[in-house]
Amino acid sequence: MGKIFEQKKVKLIVSMIYRSEDIRAKAERRLSRIYGNMETLKKELPFDYTDYYAEEMGSPLKRELICFKKLVNKENISKIKIRTNKLENFFRKKEKRTINIDPGYVTEAKLVLLTTKDYTHRVYIGKRIFAESTLNFCDGEFKAWPWTYPDYASQEMREYFEEVREMYMKQTRSKNKG
């Protein structure tokens, strides 16, 4: 029989896709109130790999990547996706989203994104939420899977998550020393 180990906490990340800087700033403040201080490491990118959200949200769209200082328990991760969905709904105008908020987490080995949509490579984690290993850390860098969205597979985003991973590694090393 295998031994069940206590799971390490993980580094919470959020990707926000938006048009309005005002909505983004308000969402960011609300997320900070819920999950604590953000790291100084942020990344803003154009969202131009797809027009998936254009009909609903307009264009041009931007993406902001953020991560939080406080590590979170994996056991609570599905609740985070439910909460970010509620936040998206709070900012709706005329039944349309004005912001898309996708949470996930970084560990030593991977970037995991949370979604409400099932697919062959996604695993159900409860409360109508699925998890997807989007990037895997191998040979000193994040690498994409065949199913990884092209924007997450880009060099720019992989490098950002490598920096987040390094912050996570420093945090977990310092916690293990104490």
Per-residue pLDDT tens digits for 39-49:
989 999 999 99
Residue 4 lies in a domain: no
**Total count of domains within the chain:** 1
Residue 22 lies in a domain: yes
**Please, which pLDDT band fits residue 178 given cuts at 50, 70 and 90?**
very low
Domain that holds residue 163: 11-177
Element (H, E) at 154: none
**Please, which pLDDT band fits residue 2 given cuts at 50, 70 and 90?**
confident
The residue among 19, 15, 16, 14 whose CA lies nearest residue 93 is: 19
Residue 1 lies in a domain: no
Give per-residue pLDDT as tens, 118-165.
999 999 999 999 999 999 999 999 999 999 999 999 999 999 999 999
Q: How far is CA 159 from CA 3, 46, 143, in A?
A: 35, 16, 10
CB neighbours of residue 103 within 10 Å: 25
Residue 64 lies in a domain: yes
- Return the pLDDT at 176: 65
Give per-residue pLDDT as tens, 12-69.
999 999 999 999 999 999 999 999 999 989 999 999 999 999 999 999 999 999 999 9
Classify residue 33 by burial, with Cβ atoms within 10 Å: 0-12, 13-18, 19+: exposed
Tell me which residue has tokens 């860098």. Answer: 141
Residue 36 lies in a domain: yes
Strands 10-18 and 129-138: unpaired
Contacts of 81 (CB under 8 A, 6+ apart): 103, 114, 115, 116, 129
Residue 103 lies in a domain: yes
Residue 5 lies in a domain: no
Tell me which residue has tokens 């580094």. Answer: 11
